[in-house]
Structures are given as structure tokens and as C-alpha cells.
Amino acid sequence: MKRTRKLLALAAAIAMLGLLPQVALAQDAPDGANPTVEDREHPHAIEKAKERAAVAITRRLKALDRIDARVSASKHVTDSHKRQLAGDYARAEAGLTALGRQIEDAETWKELRELTPLIATDYRVFLVILPKSHEVIVSDRMADGVVRLTGGAAKVLEAIERAEDAGFDMTEARRFLDVARDEIDAVSNGAVPVADRVIGLSAADWEEPAKSMLQAGKAALDQGRRDIRDAVEALKSACRAIKEAIGD
């Protein structure tokens, strides 16, 4: 009896060893791809791969449509930047659409293995096109903000000079105005140039220099937001100082 149990256990162990290579292959297969050549060439497997590729392409085309609409509707993005980005979107859409047709016409797993990675590598919609578009939008909006803040600072200066002509001490108001001007200059030199720096990036620039430039652009825009807030607060403080000095 004991000998029978040992033989059964040994048989089970041998059977498990036979399964191990299949398990290993299944774990290594990317994106659920079947490990054997026969299965990979099976029409059903190829169709499933085509479906996944179609979903990936559609996702990118929809993202391009959304960002195109946002840029077109923006009151801040310059006409030059709109034209350049629109060209990027049109080329990416045309390329992805053509690639989708190639993938649909593919008949072998080898063809699919060559074509499907191009969905990401040839266009970099999510890694380059969208991030640079968002940075252009924000950068151009900050450029408009600089124009408005500069105009506001000029009006504050006029008020200060009128008060000084009337004999009031505007030392405190001028101090706040100087702070505001410094913050405005920081935005002009840091955040505003971001649009022109990143707008020319393409899929071919990934991973470098695109990654570093986009990270630097984001950091400059984040700082620009803080600088704008500080400039606004400084101008408000200058106005309060004027009112306090003249007694209104």
C-alpha cells in the first residue's frame, strides 16, 4: 500500500514537472500573448491583437481631437502656436489612421509584432504631444497675464506719482511696486518662454531631450503660477499703502 502511494506521488511530481515549462512561458508572454507559434498564428489570436491595436489607436485619436479643440478655442494661445500644434495633430492623426489600416491588413504575427509598437513609438501622443500642448497653453496664458500685470503696475505707478506730487510719502507703496515688478519679470523670463522651447518637440525627441525639457517646462510654469500670485498680492499691497498714506 505504501509503495503504491509513493508511486502515485512520484507520477504526480513528474506530471507537474512537465507542466512547468508551459507555466513559465505563460508568465513571460507579453500582454496575454500565447506562447506557441501555432497559437500565435491562429486567426483568432491575430484578430484579438488587431482589436487591441485598434483600441490603442482610437484612444490616441480621441485624445488628439480633444486637445485640438481646446487649443483652437483658447483665447490665449497665439495664432502661430495654434498653427504649429494643429499641424502636429493633423500629422499624428493621419499617421495613426494609416498605421491602423496597415495593422488591419496584416496577416501574420510577425507583421503585427513590427507594426503595433509604432502606435506608441512613432507618435508619442501621451508622452510628447499632449504634455507639450498643455505647457504651450499655460505658457501663453501666462504671457497674457504678464501683459495685464504690467498694465496694472503702470497704473499703480501713476497713482504713486500723483500722490507724491501732492506731498504724500509713497515709500511703502513703491516698495510693494518693486516687488510686483520683480515677480512680473520672473514670469517673463521663466514661464513665458516655455511655449517656444517645447512646441517643436516631436516623437523622435523621446526620451531625451523631450523628457528633460518637458520636466523643466513644468517646473518653470509651476514657479510662474507662484510668481503671478505674488505679483498680484504685491500690487494689492501697493494700492493699500497708497490709500493708507493719503488717508482714504
- Judged by average pLDDT, the poorest of 37-41, 51-55, 217-221 is 37-41
Mean pLDDT of the chain: 87
Model confidence at 6: pLDDT above 50: no
| 66-78 pLDDT tens trace | 999 999 999 999 9
Model confidence at 19: pLDDT above 70: no
**pLDDT computed for residue 44 by the predictor:** 85
Task: At 14, give phi and psi (nearest 5°).
Answer: -65, -40
Tell me the mean pLDDT in the region 85-89: 98
Helix axes 79-105, 130-165, angle to 10 degrees: 170
**pLDDT computed for residue 247 by the predictor:** 84
What residue segments make up the domains of the chain, in order of their start? Answer: 36-121, 125-246
Model confidence at 246: pLDDT above 70: yes
Q: 197-203 — which CB contacts under 8 Å span 24+ positions?
A: 198/132, 198/135, 198/136, 199/81, 199/84, 199/85, 199/132, 199/136, 200/84, 201/128, 201/132, 202/88, 202/124, 202/128, 203/121, 203/122, 203/123, 203/124, 203/128, 203/129
- Amino acid of residue 190: G
| 194-225 pLDDT tens trace | 999 999 999 999 999 999 999 999 999 999 99
Alpha helices in 169-247 (DSSP H): 171-190, 194-198, 210-246
Model confidence at 32: pLDDT above 60: no
Model confidence at 83: pLDDT above 60: yes
**pLDDT computed for residue 40 by the predictor:** 53
The residue among 242 and 30 whose pLDDT is bigger is: 242
Model confidence at 26: pLDDT above 60: no
Model confidence at 1: pLDDT above 60: no
Tell me the mean pLDDT in the region 110-139: 98
Model confidence at 187: pLDDT above 50: yes
- Judged by average pLDDT, the poorest of 32-41, 149-158, 164-173, 182-191 is 32-41
